[in-house]
Amino acid sequence: MMDWRWDFTFDVVLPRLWEAAGITVYATVVSFAFALVGGLILMLLKMSAFKPISFVASEVIEFIRGTPLLVQIFFLFFVLPQVGITLPPLTTGIMAIAIYNSALTAEVYRAGLQAVPRGQWEAAVALNLSPYRTFRKIIIPQSLPPIVPALGNYLIAIFKETPLLSFVAVGEIMHASKLIGSEYYRFNEAVTIAGIFFLVMSLVSAALVRAAENYVKRSILH
Amino acid sequence: MTRPKIRFERVTKRYGALTVLDGLDFEVAEGEVVTVIGPSGSGKTTVLRVLMTLEGIQDGVIWVSGEPLNMMHSKGGLVPASKAHIRKIRSRIGMVFQNFNLFPHMTALENCIEAPIQSLGLSKAEAVERAMELLTMVGLTDKRDQYPSQLSGGQQQRVAIARALAMRPETILFDEPTSALDPEMVGEVLSVIRELAAEHSYTILMVTHQMGFAREISDRVCFFDGGKIVEQGPPDDIFGNPQNPRLQQFLSKVLEAR
Ligand SMILES: Nc1ncnc2c1ncn2[C@@H]1O[C@H](COP(=O)(O)OP(=O)(O)OP(=O)(O)O)[C@@H](O)[C@H]1O
Ligand SMILES: [Mg+2]
């Protein structure tokens, strides 16, 4: 039978993990938001008609995708200060996760756009729609249904990536449970609750993603 | 014949190493109904696509009502056209595609009012009124609120014709408008095109494999082979008394297949 103490759970573990959970959620939401915008920018650069820009953008995307996230977190954490940029660990961590996921969401956007048949672009030309209108009224509404669920999966993935920040001492939930463990020589309660937290958050975000998906389907595509 | 509505002047179109149109000279008069026939890969669709500016050309000039499309006047000469110039000239041309290309997230009516509101600057009420006239003309008033996926192929193609006409083009291009249809739906689409052709207020350029229909509605038939017009003339000559051996061969094959 597992050794479990409820008084310890309520007096020590839950209050400290509650605070740390806030940091986890914050890191997830902020890096996801930056990844949404960053991916869009990378995708636009990659699709640029100016070859050098599109070449550099796709190399950058490949490089980011080809390196483990933990290595990138360490890299930013140890290298940035040496070039004179000293940021709080949480900011550095959010940056690393956002950059890494930008390279992934860029692909999502690209795939979503390519899912729109060429005939739709051609019909827009034949009807003399402006490029802006073509994107806004024809292309985006048709690429959102595949894009939204794929982006949602990255939101869930980012949640599960935030424990990596414990390696650079960001006080998110994994780091907090390790600290509790080493302070009290008791790991069971903190680590179990951290696990339950991730499970619950995954279910909640999956439900959110599904709701967003249905909303898009209902309001844009019939 | 009045002045040419459309004129290709030594137009060359290449895809990589493949030359599809090789210095093509070609004219369509105002109000004329011209059909293009020819074997697969002979460049028929390409003629329509370069005219609709879906493809660029490598050499030559395309004229629309006496104004250059892919070029523009500048300091007494012609320079490559700006995007704005292309948009302006292109607005005189509409196109109906083999696969309809309706916008799947818009109803029949929305398909027909989107571009007029955005590109012609019509009010929504004006656009709806015009679109309803056109949907009436193609016999689909009762389908105005249906999405393309709820319509048969023939109905989708009729909506696509209404959508193209809603932009008030002077010239309409049809690329095998009935090729993607089940046989029982071909008639309803042809009768709409027949009506447009009879009106003679539109200039029509159509690629088709429907030889009987081409013979019936055309003022002139052009036989394309290898990116060139090999023979052209009134439909009764082309179909009744073909001169060029390749045209004779093509027609006997097509008629056999029926
Ligand atoms: N995007 C493209 N890239 C490369 N080659 C192309 C492209 N589009 C057309 N072609 C080639 O150009 C030639 C002419 O094509 P086009 O579509 O104009 O023929 P078509 O006369 O319309 O034939 P069909 O009766 O089969 O429709 C063909 O050899 C075709 O393979
Ligand atoms: Mg063709």
Q: pLDDT by residue (tens digit) across B183-204?
A: 999 999 999 999 999 987 899 9
CB B2, CB B31: distance < 8 Å: yes
Would you state the pLDDT for residue B143?
Answer: 96
Q: What percent of chain B has pLDDT over 90?
A: 93
CB B159, CB B104: distance < 8 Å: no
pLDDT at position B86 over 60: yes
Would you state the pLDDT for residue B2?
Answer: 58
Please measure the distance between the N-terminal and C-terminal CA atoms of chain A and give it in whole angstroms. Answer: 54
The stretch A79-85 carries a mean pLDDT of 90
Would you state the pLDDT for residue B254?
Answer: 86
Q: pLDDT by residue (tens digit) across B19-74?
A: 999 999 999 999 999 999 999 999 999 999 999 999 999 999 999 999 999 999 99
The stretch A190-219 carries a mean pLDDT of 90
CA distance A208 to chain B (A): 24
Any atom of ligand 1 within 6 Å of the Cβ of B13: no
pLDDT at position B243 over 70: yes
CB B221, CB B37: distance < 8 Å: yes
Any atom of ligand 1 within 6 Å of the Cβ of B45: yes
The stretch A199-204 carries a mean pLDDT of 92
The stretch A18-23 carries a mean pLDDT of 92
Would you state the pLDDT for residue B1?
Answer: 47
User: What average pLDDT is seen over chain B?
Assistant: 94
Distance B34 CA to ligand 1 centre (A): 20
Would you state the pLDDT for residue A207?
Answer: 93
Put simply, the chain A residues between 140 and 179 with a CB less than 8 A from any chain B CB are 141-142
Sorted by sequence, the CB contacts under 8 Å of residue A212 that are 6+ apart come out as A148, A152
Mutate to test the pocket of ligand 1, among B26, B40, B207 (most ligand atoms within 8 A of CB): B40
Would you state the pLDDT for residue A151?
Answer: 94
Paired strand residues for B95: B173
Q: Cα A101–A106–A110 angle (5° rounding)? A: 150
* Alpha-carbon span B58 to B72, nearest angstrom: 15
Question: Are the beta carbons of B119 and A128 separated by less than 8 Å?
Answer: yes
pLDDT at position B118 over 90: yes
Tell me which residue in B94, B97, B147 faces A122 most closely, judged by beta carbons: B97
The helix or strand, by DSSP H or E, that contains position A78, with its residue range, turns out to be helix A69-79
CB B170, CB B65: distance < 8 Å: yes
What are A79's two structure tokens? 């290298």
Sorted by sequence, the CB contacts under 8 Å of residue B257 that are 6+ apart come out as none
CB atoms within 10 A of CB B42: 22
User: What average pLDDT is seen over chain A?
Assistant: 92
Task: Give A67-70's long-range contacts (Cβ < 8 A, gap of 24+).
Answer: A69/A96, A69/A97, A69/A100, A69/A161, A69/A164, A70/A164, A70/A167
CA distance B242 to chain A (A): 34
Q: pLDDT by residue (tens digit) across A104-156?
A: 999 999 999 999 999 999 999 999 999 999 999 999 999 998 899 999 999 99
pLDDT at position A79 over 70: yes
Would you state the pLDDT for residue B3?
Answer: 75
Q: pLDDT by residue (tens digit) across B176-186?
A: 999 999 999 99
What are B213's two structure tokens? 């229909």
B89 to chain A: nearest residue by CA? Answer: A128
